[in-house]
Structure 1
């Protein structure tokens, strides 16, 4: 077994274990942190599969934007109420049955697939990395769109803080 294979399996194990932790935990903040680890593991798998653009997009959009806002929202909500934010588990048995069924279907499909017959895999493996080209294009041709997305995420964060502040004021006036 080569080093690349070992690293690939490590990323797969990190992804699977953190996804399992998300499924089993009741603490929403810990689940959000585990979701960050899951997305980073998936991005690592994308890199090994030759999809650098999707890996970078995964980290930028999901980990860098959405999950950080989610963690801020959970932490602000937790601070306001003074209690841990937990979610009750419903229908654990049915969820386990559905997850096992989907896993079996996907596993069977992967085992029966003929990946060597796909032409696009050979083309993707022989191509040079597109990350430098993507970065240059992003910072030249699409810099306005990139900055607008950054401002939009900043506004969402400010809005979450503002809403949390309003909730805090309403709680104090109710007492």
Structure 2
């Protein structure tokens, strides 16, 4: 039940983030989305990924974006609002990409990968470390959240770079 609450919160705040024209509200909706995704990671017993989500995305990237939005939200006493774009084509393309990626992931046989079978041997010997286990889990069981988190970081960096640019000289 808690998983569905976090998932619904992530989807609703993500949709609000995309559909709102106010950049500050979109930043705070991103905060709710990232926190709910971290909650989902905790429910999936992915403690390492949840802590990484909180420290890097919520603690670093989001704070940087929010400060950038707050410091540059007024240009000549006018609010900065995102421009309206063709949302129909964006929705269609996003849906097609989602269907294609879902089909690829669901039909992939991850357990037959040769590098995964070779990773069963303990390379550290008698030393106890969870890095190898976390690495294998990140590249197999939690590859989707890991890739989505990296995509989110890329989008955040692109947004921060766009906000920091001088829009009059572009």
Structure 1 residue aligned with 2:24: 29
Aligned residues: 116
Q: Give CA-to-partner distance per residue, 1:70-112, whole Å, 9 cap, x none.
A: 1111111124542222111222111010122233345556777
The answer for unaligned runs of 5 or more in structure 2 is 111-129, 131-163
Structure 2 residue aligned with 1:89: 84
Structure 1 residue aligned with 2:61: 66
| Cα 1:42–1:103 shift into 2, 3 Å | same
| Cα 1:102–1:54 shift into 2, 3 Å | same
Structure with the largest fraction of helix: 1
The answer for unaligned runs of 5 or more in structure 1 is 1-5, 116-129, 131-163, 168-175
What's the RMSD between the two structures over aligned residues?
Answer: 3.0
Which aligned pairs between 1:44-63 and structure 2 lie closer than 5 A? 44-63=39-58
Which aligned pairs between 1:1-175 and structure 2 lie closer than 5 A? 6-79=1-74, 81-106=76-101
The runs of at least 4 aligned residues of structure 1 exceeding 4 Å deviation read 106-115
| Cα 1:40–1:49 shift into 2, 3 Å | same
| Cα 1:110–1:35 shift into 2, 3 Å | same
Question: 1:45 and 1:79 mapped to 2: Cα distance?
Answer: 35
| Cα 1:22–1:104 shift into 2, 3 Å | same
Equivalent position SS for 2:3: helix
Structure 2 residue aligned with 1:161: none
